[in-house]
Amino acid sequence: MRRWEISAGGRENLRLTHVARPSAGPRELLIRTSAVSLNSRDKMFIDSGAITQFALPFTPGSDMAGVVAAVGAGATRFSVGDRVLTSFTAGWLDGPPQPRGTEMPHSFGGDLPGVLAEYVALPEDWVVATPSSLSDIDASTLPVAGLTAWSALIELGHLQPGQTVLVQGTGGVSLFALQIAHAAGARVIVTSASDEKLARVKTFGATHGINRRSTPNWPQAVKDLTAGNGADHVLEMAGGENLNRSLEALAPNGRVSVIGVLEAFDYQFGAVPLFCNQATVQGIFIGPRRSLENFVRAVDHLRLKPVIDAVYDFEDLPRALEHLDRGPFGKIVIHL
Ligand SMILES: NC(=O)c1ccc[n+]([C@@H]2O[C@H](COP(=O)([O-])OP(=O)(O)OC[C@H]3O[C@@H](n4cnc5c(N)ncnc54)[C@H](OP(=O)(O)O)[C@@H]3O)[C@@H](O)[C@H]2O)c1
């Protein structure tokens, strides 16, 4: 079978290799991969050389939709032919994150081998059933981008109809947040560096768009659009000084979900906007399997259709990564 591998940091070191097909061990499933959606984390690991902390050669990719091809001894949750999705934080089934201090939970395409391979063998507990309303290409976008937005707004954010949500940018997480918030009856303001993308978000339910380049004081623009109140929920995607501005755009008793590191891994903010708004700032780490199962049910119920910017063939991974570099509108998917 074919599998993408990399042994040293840098995209030029990616190789499409041929390796033996794995087999399902006890309580494992052998899954034929149909689609893998990419996340900015995949790009970061490939480009930065951070993979050298993991077993080499490293296979990237965490978000897979596929079909069960064989069932290992003692596995009972799925049968041959079932459609499944990976649950990103493998082994985190429910409840709060496992106590691992500052260490990341186990995850595919991180400390566990990735899914950019024609077949993978995984413990049956690490996957969930695919929503029946979505194709595998669409469904592959749920495990990270979709679930992160769902966790921030619904599982942890308890979003209420009529509240205002501020979504930053038009990447994978942000457009899922827009669709989920719109479906929940919230008003959604989107920031973007592109007027063309801001026009497109209106078709997915955004009430207002703010160009963060031509309107550098976008927190004030959010206040202006909300009669001075601010947004009840802000999804912080950039890091660095941006968190300060997210707090400025926040309504009293509002909530910032800290998600992205598009600009920086360190966050800076002053105490005053935090105090004055009695703000809640919560880190988000994707979510456990139970949250993904809830999200899958909601996707079927709402007929939510993920926004996919482009689909690439398996051998075109380098081109797909270049598309991620340019800033996607929604998700980029690799099709096998
Ligand atoms: N904590 C978690 O659980 C979690 C889970 C998933 C992702 N993340 C992180 O969240 C971030 C976004 O992930 P993603 O997969 O949605 O990325 P993505 O699909 O690659 O989205 C990138 C988009 O973000 C926007 N953007 C770029 N720089 C920005 C900035 N400085 N301020 C605001 N928006 C900016 C751009 O949209 P415009 O062109 O419209 O401006 C760009 O298209 C990444 O840092 C990722 O690592 C965290």
How does pLDDT run across 105-123, given as a tens digit for each residue?
Answer: 789 999 899 999 999 999 9
Q: Is the CB of 210 under 6 A from ligand 1?
A: no
Q: What percent of the chain has pLDDT over 90?
A: 90
At 245, which helix (H) or strand (E)? Answer: helix 242-248
- Is pTM beyond 0.85? Reply is yes
Shortest-distance atom of ligand 1 to CA 39: 15
Whether 120 and 64 have beta carbons less than 8 Å apart is answered as yes
**Residues 6+ positions from 288 with CB-CB distance below 8 Å:** 87, 89, 92, 93, 94, 95, 97
Q: Is the CB of 148 under 6 A from ligand 1?
A: yes
Ligand 1 centroid to residue 183 C-alpha, Å: 21
Q: Which residues, in sequence order, are bridge partners of residue 191?
A: 168, 210
Query: Atom 19 of ligand 1 has which residue's CA nearest to it?
Result: 171
First vs last C-alpha separation in the chain: 12
Confidence of residue 50 (pLDDT cuts 50, 70, 90): confident
Calculate mean pLDDT across residues 206-221. 98
Ligand 1 centroid to residue 75 C-alpha, Å: 37
**Residues 6+ positions from 201 with CB-CB distance below 8 Å:** 170, 175, 178, 190, 192, 209
Q: What percent of the chain has pLDDT over 70?
A: 99
| pLDDT score for 102 | 65
Ligand 1 centroid to residue 94 C-alpha, Å: 26
Sheet (strand 187-192) strand order = 208-211, 187-192, 164-168, 231-236, 250-258, 280-283
Q: Ligand 1 pocket: which of 235, 262, 281 to mutate (most atoms <8 Å of CB)?
A: 262
Q: Is the dihedral of CA 253, 257, 263, 268 positive or negative?
A: positive
Ligand 1 centroid to residue 78 C-alpha, Å: 34
What pLDDT, in 10s, does the model give residues 142-191?
999 999 999 999 999 999 999 999 999 999 999 999 999 999 999 999 99
| pLDDT score for 55 | 84
d(CA 159, CA 296): 18
Ligand 1 centroid to residue 266 C-alpha, Å: 15
Q: Is the CB of 219 under 6 A from ligand 1?
A: no
Q: Ligand 1 pocket: which of 41, 141, 174, 180 to mutate (most atoms <8 Å of CB)?
A: 174
| pLDDT score for 105 | 77
Query: Atom 36 of ligand 1 has which residue's CA nearest to it?
Result: 169
Q: Is the CB of 245 under 6 A from ligand 1?
A: no
Q: Is the CB of 260 under 6 A from ligand 1?
A: yes
Query: Atom 31 of ligand 1 has which residue's CA nearest to it?
Result: 238
